[in-house]
Amino acid sequence: MSKDRLSASRRLDVALAMVSLGDHVAAIDVARAALAADRDWDEAHFTLGDIYQGAGETENAIEAFRQYLMLDPTDRMGAEVRLTLLGAAALRDRLPPDYVRALFDDYAPRFEISLRDRLGYRGPELLFEAIRPYLPEMLQPLKVLDLGCGTGLVAELFAGHVDSIDGIDLSPRMINRARDKGLYSTLVAGDITDMPAELNANYCLMIAADVFNYLGDLAPALRAAHARMKPGGLIVFSLEHGEIFPFDLGPGQRFRHHRRAIGEWLTECGFAVLSDTMGVLRQEKGNPVEGRIIVARANDALALMADDLMTPGVPDQPSGETGQTGQTVH
């Protein structure tokens, strides 16, 4: 670390301490002094933008985030997301993969404590309740792919009910945490819109717990999922509910999807919706986050039909609440 970078780092630490005390004016002055010591430090530009945004100085925040992007086009800190929320950048169809990877690599050590203890996260439980009526009737062996597996919360819940589970996630550190649990047959660091060859094309069930929230346009991920599934296989996933068609970016920096858009993407990518329920995924700043929990079946007119995966006599929609659309689950 150069002397300038060391000086800049110390000043930036002081600026962040001032932010924690609520003194944004002083924090801005010190953060600008950090940049004077090292003008080429991308992180300092981003931090200054964050402080400006917290102080309500939108134009200055926009300029700082743009300066950051000039120094780091990969955008590992998510400046473009900030610019979008500030109305200074167009809404894209997904969050930058380098940003999502860096975000969850950093988040991995405290991921489960944060989700479970602080946010009351219930995504895997809601997905399990939605898919449970179908599980006994699916042919064996029941092979599962956990999309965006994170640290393995889905596997903890599903492992005793299926024959094998593979997982894929953008974040290598999340993958390492999941591997430590010993519940997955195969774990791969990769993108769910472009799945690596290590994942086969023979899955009966795919699970995506709060993963599609980081994608706007769901078609690439759904297309990739369909290509790795048995005809008649099922996918169950959760999404944050949105009122804007087809999607918008919420203040929590996650996409919210409109129900009609979800249905159109599923049809386009070869799926038929079996159930669509509402549920509270987690808490955010003390408020419930409403989401959709969707079960869909992969169709393939040129190969086996749904009956090849499900045993004879099983109806397309099971009895009970998961077979009803629009029902709220608490």
CATH number, domain with residue 50: 1.25.40.10
80 and 126 within one domain: no
Beta carbons within 8 Å of 313's beta carbon, 6+ residues apart: none
| Structure token digits, residue 87 | 């109305």
Beta carbons within 8 Å of 188's beta carbon, 6+ residues apart: 166, 167, 168, 175, 195, 196, 198, 199
Whether 186 contacts 154, CB under 8 Å: no
Domain boundary among 62, 90, 118: 90
Domain boundary among 25, 57, 90: 90
Q: What's the CATH code of the domain at 308?
A: 3.40.50.150
Model confidence, pTM:
0.87
Please, what sign has the CA dihedral across residues 165, 209, 138, 272?
negative
The backbone torsions φ and ψ at residue 187, rounded to the nearest 5 degrees and listed phi first, read: -130, 130
How big, in percent rounded to 5, are the helix, strand and coil portions of the chain? 45, 20, 30
Whether 82 contacts 65, CB under 8 Å: yes
CA nearest 294: which of 251, 257, 248? 257
115 and 86 within one domain: no
pLDDT attached to residue 310: 52
Residue 103 falls inside a structural domain: no
| Whole-number Å distance between alpha carbons of 55 and 318 | 53
Domain boundary among 90, 120, 147: 90
214 and 71 within one domain: no
175 and 40 within one domain: no
The ranges of the chain with pLDDT < 50 are 301-308, 311-330
16 and 56 within one domain: yes
127 and 261 within one domain: yes
pLDDT attached to residue 104: 95
116 and 61 within one domain: no
Whether 119 contacts 283, CB under 8 Å: yes
Beta carbons within 8 Å of 72's beta carbon, 6+ residues apart: 42, 79
Q: What is the torsion angle, in degrees rounded to the nearest 10, for the CA atoms of residue 83, residue 84, residue 89 and residue 94?
A: 120
CA nearest 49: which of 33, 65, 66? 65
Residue 170 falls inside a structural domain: yes
Tell me which residue has tokens 């924690």. Answer: 20
Residue 317 falls inside a structural domain: yes
120 and 84 within one domain: no
Enclosing domain of residue 20:
3-90
Number of domains in the chain: 2
Residue 98 falls inside a structural domain: no
Whether 113 contacts 174, CB under 8 Å: no
14 and 154 within one domain: no
Residue 125 falls inside a structural domain: yes
Beta carbons within 8 Å of 28's beta carbon, 6+ residues apart: 15, 48, 51, 52, 55, 57
pLDDT attached to residue 114: 87
pLDDT attached to residue 220: 98
The backbone torsions φ and ψ at residue 326, rounded to the nearest 5 degrees and listed phi first, read: 80, 5
| Whole-number Å distance between alpha carbons of 144 and 265 | 22
Residue 77 falls inside a structural domain: yes
120 and 191 within one domain: yes
pLDDT attached to residue 318: 39
321 and 191 within one domain: yes
pLDDT attached to residue 2: 56
Residue 97 falls inside a structural domain: no
159 and 37 within one domain: no
